[in-house]
Chains A and B, each alone.
Chain A
Amino acid sequence: MPETWLLALMGGVLIGLASGGFYLLAGEIAGITGVVRRALSGPERGWRVAFLSGMIVAALIWLATADVAAATAGLEKLSLPVLITAGLLVGIGTDLGNGCTSGHGVCGLSRFSLRSLVAVAVFMAVAVLTVWLVRHGGLA
């Protein structure tokens, strides 16, 4: 089993290939926030549904061949109220801010977008602070 940092790097390269390659070939930003939002409603749903289908097929192949428990480790510990609160915040936040880790993080930073750099700096800082409050600040 390779080191975790190596797997992380390999996974990152795949994500970068998918995002950059998709822009080069199809001219679209593969930010998952926008893909999900516009796959639900809006014009040009076709490629967005296809993109999500690709992700789902990858997960199905993983389900049949690889370690599911390790891939989702920690999900089983999350309570329903936490999942629902976090889901609502992520949904509202990514819609208002027009992007998440993939749209602002991967695509935005790779396009040298100042707007995305600001968004990434803010959501990373808030996420780090939130984890600190929950795990070390007595909110647990």
Chain B
Amino acid sequence: MKIAIAFLAGLTFGFGLLVSGMSSPDKVLSFLDLAGAWDPSLAFVMGGAVLTATPLFLLAKRRAQPLVGAVYDDPERLTIDRKLLIGAVLFGLGWGLAGICPGPAVVDLILAPGKAAAFMIAMVAGITFSARLRKAEA
């Protein structure tokens, strides 16, 4: 059941990225380019997503448990620490450089395999490298 729900959620999420234009680096970069020919439309993506998701998260919080599964799997880390800030800075640099974040990278992998694969392979290498560092530190 959870697998089927996850598949449908992924399908909906994927269409959302494609319909909204998030899968296009040009659109993302023109949104981030405040000093150029600014394209504000992507603000509607984030706005629409948060406004739609908020009541659903609030509704979830009023229930003792999710429909499928025993507990809500909430993030364990709650503190604003150095790792969060350094991570956000590095992610902002990469996102601003190419206009691709992890979600769009997944759908672009199918639409434009060559270029998106280069990004994806580097991204997975980055995740692996960072995970090793975290393990070595712990």
Contacts and interface: CB of A to CB of B under 8 A. Distances in A.
Interface of A: 4-30, 32-33, 36-37, 40, 46-48, 50-63, 66, 68, 70-78, 80, 82-98, 100-102, 104-107, 109-111, 113-115, 118-120, 122-132, 134-136
Contacts, number: 483
Contacts of B110: 56, 59-60, 62-63
B48 A124 contact: no
Interface of B: 2-29, 32-36, 39-57, 59-60, 63, 65-69, 71-75, 77-80, 83-103, 105-112, 115-116, 118-131, 134
A92 B130 CA distance: 5
Contacts of B87: 92-98, 119
Contact of A13 (B49, B89, B99, B134): B49
A9 B19 CA distance: 9
A80 B29 CA distance: 18
Most buried by B among A11, A95, A126: A11
Contacts of A94: 87, 91, 102, 127
B88 A122 contact: yes
Nearest to B79: A115
A12 B49 contact: yes
A32 B14 CA distance: 11
A106 B102 CA distance: 13
Given A47-B2, A84-B122, A94-B102, A9 B111 contact: no
Nearest to B28: A74
Nearest to A4: B41
A18 B50 CA distance: 11
A53 to B, nearest CB: 6
B115 A75 contact: yes
Given A28-B69, A75-B100, 18 more contacts: A18-B16, A19-B13, A24-B59, A50-B10, A51-B13, A55-B11, A57-B11, A58-B12, A58-B15, A73-B25, A78-B115, A89-B97, A90-B100, A95-B134, A97-B85, A127-B92, A132-B35, A135-B36
Contacts of B105: 87, 90
